[in-house]
């Protein structure tokens, strides 16, 4: 097998004091292949955005390693760090907040090109026009300011800026959650088209399983700083192998049976209580305090390993086969 573009190994990212650290990311391992789109889903506060920011080098690593194209990102300094910044870019949740209101959108893109070494002013503006066309906007709009665009248009501008330096990896942090549903579909289709045209790799962070299905080859489900399930996208929607994923899927609307395949007799699963504090050390399975299937003593005593239950399908549940119906 070829080397993955991103290889996260037993990553831990902690905040706060040493006595009572916030375990935002607590032993996560995942890979993103070249040209692959990985969806990362979970409730707010589970650590998925922190994981994305750490891959970009924005947050500090407490333990573990992140390899980018086979190289440890903690060793990047000077020119190697700048080269890494060209290869890995981010699309933010709030397209308006990520744009400088005092700069035209063209200046926002041109500035990126200038920082990364493009000396010709003419080539910088030509590249900006090319990027606008690639995301479905008229180059004549380059002279306008962010407030003159709709939310969907601003997100297209954010995508254009992220693509300015021809990256190989885009980390999209809830890129459509602030948009109307009809606009969400347009942005997701655009991201799929760009992925194919430019052979991009995505880490698509979201809380909505219905959204990530449109753009993901594989989906990792995160709960309380840990990956609890990892599966090829089609398999996850048909045979979830973790109770948390099962509950998330039960909340996805089944309009015309187009979003997912419901099992016969399936029902809406309502999780009890809130996600526990990331400062607490929970014995046993981190999900057992809310799990609708936790009936055995071992659920509160043994931490389940992330194990393979089918080809390419992993689950951190003692009863994964029972959950998936295998």
pLDDT tens digits for 23-68? 999 999 999 999 999 999 999 889 999 999 999 999 999 999 999 9
Query: Which of 44, 42, 57 lies closest to 8 in space, CA to CA?
Result: 57
Q: With a threshold of 0.85, does the pTM exceed it?
A: yes
pLDDT above 50 for 194: yes
Number of residues in the chain: 326
Here the tokens at position 172 are 């999209």
Within 8 A by CB and 6+ apart from 275, the residues are 43, 45, 46, 223, 224, 290
pLDDT given at position 1: 59
With respect to residue 231, please indicate whether it lies within any of the assigned structural domains. no
Mean pLDDT of 137-163: 95
Residue 287 and residue 154 in one domain = no
pLDDT given at position 23: 94
Residue 174 and residue 254 in one domain = no
* CA distance linking residue 299 with residue 284, whole number of Å: 6
Residue 203 and residue 315 in one domain = no
pLDDT above 60 for 178: yes
Residue 179 and residue 256 in one domain = no
Residue 195 and residue 308 in one domain = no
For 269, counting Cβ atoms within 10 Å of its Cβ (0-12 exposed, 13-18 middle, 19+ buried), the class is: middle
Residue 130 and residue 255 in one domain = no
* CA distance linking residue 116 with residue 295, whole number of Å: 56
Tell me the per-residue pLDDT of 239-267, one tens digit each, with 9 for 90 and over.
999 999 999 998 877 544 444 444 434 67
Tell me the per-residue pLDDT of 64-115, one tens digit each, with 9 for 90 and over.
999 999 999 999 999 999 999 999 999 988 878 888 999 999 999 999 999 9
pLDDT given at position 254: 59
With respect to residue 221, please indicate whether it lies within any of the assigned structural domains. no
* CA distance linking residue 100 with residue 120, whole number of Å: 23
With respect to residue 130, please indicate whether it lies within any of the assigned structural domains. yes
Residue 277 and residue 186 in one domain = no
Residues forming a β-bridge with 20: none
Q: At what angle do helices 151-163 and 181-198 cross, to 10 degrees?
A: 20
pLDDT given at position 266: 61
Q: Report the CATH number at residue 71.
A: 3.40.50.300
* CA distance linking residue 52 with residue 93, whole number of Å: 12
* CA distance linking residue 3 with residue 118, whole number of Å: 30
pLDDT given at position 292: 87
How high does pLDDT run on average in the chain? 91
With respect to residue 254, please indicate whether it lies within any of the assigned structural domains. yes
With respect to residue 67, please indicate whether it lies within any of the assigned structural domains. yes
More confident residue, 271 or 255: 271
With respect to residue 228, please indicate whether it lies within any of the assigned structural domains. no
Residue 207 and residue 244 in one domain = no
Query: Which of 198, 38, 172 lies closest to 98 in space, CA to CA?
Result: 172
Tell me the per-residue pLDDT of 286-310, one tens digit each, with 9 for 90 and over.
999 999 888 788 999 999 999 999 9
Residues forming a β-bridge with 205: 40, 173
Q: Let me know the angle formed at the C-alpha of 30 by 3 and 35, rounded to the nearest 5 degrees.
A: 50
Contact assessment for residue 299 and residue 285, using Cβ atoms and an 8 Å cutoff: yes
With respect to residue 126, please indicate whether it lies within any of the assigned structural domains. yes
Mean pLDDT of 256-280: 67
Q: Which domain holds residue 250?
A: 240-324
Residue 162 and residue 288 in one domain = no
pLDDT above 80 for 236: yes
Q: Identify the DSSP state of 268.
A: P
pLDDT over 90 for what percent of the chain?
Answer: 74
pLDDT given at position 270: 81
pLDDT given at position 318: 93
What is the total count of domains within the chain?
Answer: 2
With respect to residue 1, please indicate whether it lies within any of the assigned structural domains. no
């Amino acid at each position: 097998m070829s080397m993955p573009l991103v290889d996260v190994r037993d990553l831990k990212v902690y905040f706060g004091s040493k006595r009572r650290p916030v375990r935002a990311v607590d032993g996560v391992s995942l890979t993103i292949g070249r040209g692959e789109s990985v969806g990362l889903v979970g409730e707010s506060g589970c650590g998925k955005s922190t994981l994305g920011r750490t891959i970009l080098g924005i947050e500090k690593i407490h333990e573990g390693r992140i390899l980018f194209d086979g190289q440890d990102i903690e060793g990047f300094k000077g020119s190697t760090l700048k080269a890494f910044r060209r290869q890995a870019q981010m699309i933010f949740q709030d397209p308006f907040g990520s744009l400088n209101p005092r700069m035209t959108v063209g200046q926002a893109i041109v500035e990126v090109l200038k920082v990364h070494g493009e000396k010709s002013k003419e080539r910088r503006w030509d590249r900006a026009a090319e990027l606008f066309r690639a995301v479905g906007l008229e180059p004549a709009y380059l002279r306008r300011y962010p407030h003159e665009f709709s939310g969907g248009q601003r997100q297209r501008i954010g995508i254009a800026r992220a693509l300015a330096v021809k990256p190989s990896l885009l980390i999209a942090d809830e890129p459509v959650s602030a948009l109307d549903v009809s606009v969400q579909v347009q942005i997701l289709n655009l991201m799929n088209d760009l992925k194919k045209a430019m052979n991009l790799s995505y880490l698509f962070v979201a809380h909505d399983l219905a959204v990530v299905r449109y753009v993901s080859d594989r989906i990792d489900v995160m709960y309380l700083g840990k990956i609890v399930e990892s599966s090829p996208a089609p398999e996850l929607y048909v045979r979830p192998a973790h109770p948390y994923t099962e509950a998330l899927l039960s909340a996805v609307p089944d309009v015309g049976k187009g979003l997912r395949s419901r099992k016969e007799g399936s029902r809406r699963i309502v999780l009890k209580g809130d996600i526990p504090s990331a400062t607490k050390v929970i014995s046993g399975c981190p999900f057992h305090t809310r799990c609708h299937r936790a009936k055995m003593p071992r659920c509160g005593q043994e931490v389940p390993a992330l194990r393979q239950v089918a080809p390419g399908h992993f689950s951190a549940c003692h009863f994964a086969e029972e959950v998936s119906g295998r």
